[in-house]
Amino acid sequence: MTEMKITKSTLVSQKPGNIVSDMDGEKVMLSIQSGKYFNLGEIGGEIWELIKEPTSIHNLVTTIQSQYDVAQDECEQQVTSFLNQLVEQELIMVEGNDK
């Protein structure tokens, strides 16, 4: 599997085939493909909801920043790190947006 560098213009979206549920304000997910459970947490759950349709990292960071008191660099780093973990587990689709 070739690793794709996630940048601000990268588009990400949910991969189908996962069961997601709310548990005490946090999202938990079962990957049908792997049979693994994941706790996305509160903010991870928000990100998951935001990527129902393909969206850019820039849009995700802007949305999260508008809801939480976090610096842009820190927010971008954390969102990218979280998305890279989802990529590793094959839970999301990644598309480059090179024009």
Q: What is the pTM of this model?
A: 0.86
pLDDT the model gives residue 30: 95
**Residue 57 phi, psi (nearest 5):** -60, -40
Q: Which two tokens stand for residue 51?
A: 């990527």
Q: What is the pLDDT along the chain (99 residues), one digit of tens a residue?
A: 445 577 788 899 999 999 999 998 899 999 998 999 999 999 999 999 999 999 999 999 999 999 999 999 999 999 999 999 999 999 999 987 544
Please report the pLDDT score of residue 5 as a whole number: 72
DSSP secondary structure of 28-92: EEEETTT--EEEEHHHHHHHHHHTSS-EEHHHHHHHHHHHS---HHHHHHHHHHHHHHHHHTT-E
Q: What are phi and psi of 53, to 5 degrees?
A: -115, 150
